[in-house]
Structure 1
């Protein structure tokens, strides 16, 4: 394993019957980073995470987890929250978190002490003694996450952690993830909601149909696309139209097209000289969701969710 990597995987392949779900995935996750595995439902994200953790074995390829070639040897250093949530409904949050810590070697008394602190930090101190069945879905999911980190793992693996949470609980989860990295942990999470990765991740892997279609920083993904120009003019026609690219389209009263190679200055000069009568002109950088669509194609991106309006404004 290379120095500074929490996870290193090469050529991971997984078949279920005749179906090849993962087709040869390479991943490298730096220690102390937040890494996102993005893709539509069914892309192979969960299968990849489970191979990395040793829950299932790959049919081909190798993986190293926190310096161990056998992932089971790193189990005590890992916190894993699967997509399928599960807590004992009669337990209180305090006892559930302490119990999950005990499974990772934390004495129950110490687990309860840590649980009290974690619940207080998450704004759930008043719910510490309530049965979990009386908590909201978001609160119960937060409790499960706190149980995932109570033993202070070096690596935290979260499978679709934002699924089913409202905007408030999503924001709290983002804060918690950042706090874990601040103490030195590495976080890798899968998601099909691009907004969280755009805000949180230092690097991402975009997976579609069992393959990594892109690996790099969010900025590198966004640079796959040109900035988008939106132009409103007083004139309907005239010599200025020659300045627009051939693929310019008029949508909702505005001309829309990719920024030409020469940049905005020559475009502006040609529009003004041609009598366009510029009313509005904006240049919008592409978001990560736009880049995802460009990288893997419309078909693979069909069920990937962009930021909802309230999240985009957050």
Structure 2
């Protein structure tokens, strides 16, 4: 089912997209450098998938191969269970790492032009652009040239270019970069509207707290390899267990308890990792022998902690 030429403009309108994007053993080399090495994962229909990794991990190269900007050295990309085509990609919304706006052209004019290139009629393109500019707080800047906008507002314009026209999939490289909190919330709402009609969304970000808040699935890339993937709870279940200990006296002695790794000790408070089964019992027995225990509680690992563990 193609959305090209369809005149419905709202992000939640129209037929439900239900296909997955599947990456199978995707690889890409540049000379002697293997930038992406045997990467496999699925961006499921109706799911926000966060793609995280350090600079040079291979995220942008992977996303370019999904969009056909780069050809893979090995492996393949599937859409709806079959090899993806350029016609499929024409129905995707793509936000590249390098922004592609015309600085001396008015915001509204160039977005309508880009919408027409995507297959929208003139009326539908203008309606979609106007609606998205309002949602992202740029309605009053529609006639301004892009070069007159702040970098954050230019980012919003680039977002509109990717989201307009009811795309069947979204591939977004650092879409939240430079956005203020209000724009982040608006962008998150828009993405959820797309996933609610079955659109698979893949976006990269260095803002791990944001990825943790928004995403139903995560893919972590390091040195061109997938080092972790799954739901946030899947990743937490494989993370090292941490506990917070609060005593009546100084907690420095916990550093010497076998099977316990003291991550941080600050006076009576300690953040601990249990690295040997049963060590927590010995720890508590010793703590009670020395005085009062005000708290001993498990700590829910953050995505930042998980990321450091899997990329170490």
TM-score when normalising by structure 1: 0.84
- Looking at structure 2, the residues matched to 97 and 199 of structure 1 have their Cα atoms a distance apart, in angstroms, of 30
> Structure 1 unaligned runs (5+)?
298-314
Match of 1:135 in 2: 149
Deviation at 1:143, TM superposition (A): 1.3
Segment drifting more, 30-39 vs 122-131: 122-131
1:149-198 deviations in Å (ceiling 9; x for gaps): 21211101101112233333333322222222123322111122212221
Distance 1:99 1:197, change over 3 A: same
C-alpha contact (below 8 Å) 2:259/2:279 kept by paired residues: no
* RMSD across aligned positions (CA): 2.8
* Cα distance change on mapping 1:267 and 1:112 into 2, 3 Å: farther
- 1:281 Cα deviation after fit: 4.0
Contact kept? 1:271, 1:278, Cα under 8 Å: no
In structure 2, the residue matched to 1:287 is 302
Residues 137/231 of structure 1: CA separation in 2 closer, same or farther (3 Å cut):
same
1:195 has 2:206 as partner = no
16-25 vs 133-142, which moves further: 133-142
Q: Which runs of 5+ in 2 are unaligned?
A: 1-17
Matches within 5 A, 1:135-154: 135-154=149-168
**1:1-314 pair list within 5 angstroms:** 5-236=19-250, 245-248=259-262, 251-253=265-267, 254-259=269-274, 261=277, 266=281, 270=285, 273-297=288-312
Q: 1:112 to 1:261 in 2, by over 3 A?
A: same
| Deviation, structure 1 residue 52 | 1.4
Change (3 A) 1:276 1:248: farther
Asked if the contact 1:228–1:256 (Cα under 8 Å) also holds between the matched residues in 2, the reply is yes
Q: Distance in 2 between matches of 1:205 and 1:285?
A: 19
Note the alpha carbon deviations across 1:208-230, whole angstroms, 9 max, x for none.
Answer: 00111112111111222233222
Deviation at 1:294, TM superposition (A): 0.9
Q: In structure 2, what is the Cα distance between the partners aligned to 1:238 and 1:72?
A: 62
